[in-house]
Structure 1
Amino acid sequence: MNAQNDLGHGHSPAAWTAVVIMLVGFTVGTIAFFFEIAPVVWASAVVVLAGWITGGVMAKMGYGVKGPRYAPKAHS
């Protein structure tokens, strides 16, 4: 596949936002699981779900790879 057909492999504001939110949720959930703090584990599961939803909403708003508000940066 050449660079002209490359859609960015998810390097969009929607993808980055979703991944960062979900990464925070997973990290906090893992630490809470280690210390056996069940309410925080469940709250972090909700954060992961919120990250997934946020990414989808942002993609529908045009910030996804194929969205009109996404401007890919040139790779050097």
Structure 2
Amino acid sequence: MAGSSHGHTPAAWTGVIIAFIGFCVAGAFMVMAQPAGFWAGMGIIVLGGVVGAVMRSMGMGQQQSSHPVPAGTES
């Protein structure tokens, strides 16, 4: 994984940061026993996935490998 630059893209970083903020929001509101805030945090988590996917489709994600996998080496 270290040789493939897995996750080292603007799309991955942005999606993970937004999702992390959502986890923090949801966790804080769960401790405060506020269901509406908890679900708002869960919505932010989903938003992080959507933003990451949109950015990937805009070309800010990891580029697909142009090297085909040789036959017989698939796991």
- TM-score of the superposition, structure 1-length normalised? 0.78
Identity of aligned residues (%): 38
Q: Which runs of 5+ in 2 are unaligned?
A: 65-75
Runs of 4+ in 1 over 3 A off after TM superposition: none
Match of 1:7 in 2: 4
Structure 1 or 2: more helix by fraction = 2
Match of 2:61 in 1: 64
Q: Which runs of 5+ in 1 are unaligned?
A: 68-76
Q: How many residues align?
A: 64
Contact 1:7 1:66 in 2 (8 A): no
Alignment root-mean-square deviation, CA: 1.7
User: C-alpha displacement at 1:61, in angstroms?
Assistant: 0.3
**Which structure: larger Rg?**
2
- TM-score of the superposition, structure 2-length normalised? 0.79
